[in-house]
Copies of this chain bind each other. A is one copy, B any other.
Amino acid sequence: MELDLQCYSVRTDLAVESKEMINSLEPAPIPGVVEDISQEDGIKITRLDVQNEAASQKIGRVVGHYVTLEVPELRKGDTGLQEHVATVFAREFEQFMQHIGLGPHASVLIVGLGNWNVTPDSLGPLVVENVMVTRHYFELMPDRVAPGYRQISAVAPGVLGVTGIESSEIVQGIVERTRPDAIVAIDALASRSLERVNTTIQIADIGIHPGSGIGNKRRGLTKDILGIPCIAIGVPTVCYASTIVNNAIEMMKNHFGSDSKQTGQIMGMLNEISEHDRLALVKEVLEPLGHDLIVTPKEIDEFIEDIANIVASGLNAALHEAVDPGNVGAYTH
């Protein structure tokens, strides 16, 4: 049975989903994958370490540290919950920076990947528009910068189809000229599960890898390429139709439950084959007919604005000591 998953084949960019799929096949713990889950006020936080190459092969994710916030209620548009998530995100992001050794004075370049004009791909540019940038004050009037602020710059490099240049090349050029200590890259992701779309935030120290994200970003933004740590913040905003179908069949299988004979009667071979094979089957059927589109919830305009505000507010509070998570909202518009 094929268990080594590749990111593309399952079409998810979320480590928690990769882990979930492995576990659905093999409930046993995976050596080299350490997971810690906590719950608070409707937010599920999963801290997941992929510790070595063997674990990476098994789970289909790059070696690294992943923190995921899942907030199913986020879709309801409750302003109070949004502020709470921004605060928790700020705390987790601050710990994450400490975890990878970034001190309170490390300068950061925030990179908003994606396309302004494609709503589900506009998360990165929207966050860039809403974060507090301070680098120019440090450059132009260093004596007048109040304590508690870090040197922050932010760019939205655009997408290959619009610029003709890989966003990683643009970022590399800017890094070489402005010499930040670290990159924080924000990108819209694909999930295998519609319910995670616009309700999940993933932080990872792995940078951006070819094939992740929903656009075309072949070269990646990684420590190997850029020479500085690169934290990736991702929010799933889309699903492939085929993964919706595949996931629904999985849910139906679970719905009919443990009596595999009965489930087999209802679902035939669909009950028996691996998720991987079943997805291949679904794709084989849908693709030639033009049905394997990438989709996003109808309410995407509002979702994307809300989640961009959460990420921007959270980053402002996490990056600047002087910004209080309590009044986090005031620094963005």
Interface residues of A (CB under 8 A from B): 72, 75, 79, 116-121, 128-129, 133-136, 151-158, 160-166, 169-170, 172-178, 193-195, 197, 214, 238-239, 241-242, 244-245, 247-249, 251-252, 255, 264-271, 281-282, 284-286, 289-291, 293-302, 330, 333
Contacts and interface: CB of A to CB of B under 8 A. Distances in A.
A287 B35 CA distance: 29
A300 B173 contact: no
Between A134, A161, A177, A297, the greatest number of chain B beta carbons within 10 A of the residue's beta carbon is seen for A177
B177 A169 contact: yes
B176 A176 contact: yes
B133 A164 contact: yes
5 contacts: A119-B119, A136-B160, A154-B163, A267-B269, A267-B270
A174 B176 contact: no
Is chain A's binding surface mostly helix, strand, loop or mixed? helix
A72 B301 contact: no
A261 to B, nearest CB: 11
Q: Which 4 A-B pairs have the closest CB atoms?
A: A268-B268, A173-B173, A133-B164, A135-B164
A269 B297 CA distance: 30
Given A72-B290, A193-B291, A251-B285, 15 more contacts: A128-B163, A133-B163, A136-B165, A153-B163, A154-B164, A172-B173, A172-B177, A173-B174, A176-B177, A244-B245, A248-B282, A252-B282, A267-B268, A293-B298, A295-B298
Given A178-B169, A286-B248, A294-B298, A162 B129 contact: yes
A14 to B, nearest CB: 16
Contacts of A166: 136
